[in-house]
Chains A and B, each alone.
Chain A
Amino acid sequence: MISTQTFAVTTLSSEQESQIRENCVSIKSTLNQLHASDALLRVNRGQVYESMGAKLMNRFNGRLSSNGLDIKGLSLVSDNYQTALTNFRSDYQQYERQLSAAIAIDCTRDPQAFHLSLEEARTKRQKVHDDVIKLHQYIDDYRSAVNDFKLNFERLSEDNK
Chain B
Amino acid sequence: MADIKETTTPEAVEVIDQDLTFWGQHRFMLLIFGTIIISIGFVAVSLVIYNVSGSAQLDLSRPGYQSVSNQVERDDNIDEYSASGSVNTDAIDDFTKLYDAQAVKAKAVDAFNGDPLNPEILQFGDPSASTE
Contact = CB atoms under 8 A, between A and B. Distances in A.
Given A20-B124, A30-B122, A56 B100 contact: no
Where chain A touches its partner, the secondary structure class is: helix
Interface in B76-132: 76, 78-87, 89, 91-92, 95-96, 98-100, 102-103, 105-107, 109-113, 115-119, 122-132
A106 to B, nearest CB: 15
A10 B127 contact: yes
Given A39-B60, A41-B111, A46-B58, A56 B81 contact: yes
B39 to A, nearest CB: 28
B9 interface: no
Given A60-B99, A121-B117, A125-B117, 8 more contacts: A10-B129, A11-B130, A30-B116, A40-B65, A51-B78, A67-B87, A122-B117, A129-B111
Nearest to A32: B64
Contacts of B82: 59, 63
Interface residues of B, number: 56
B18 interface: no
A38 B82 CA distance: 33
A36 B89 contact: no
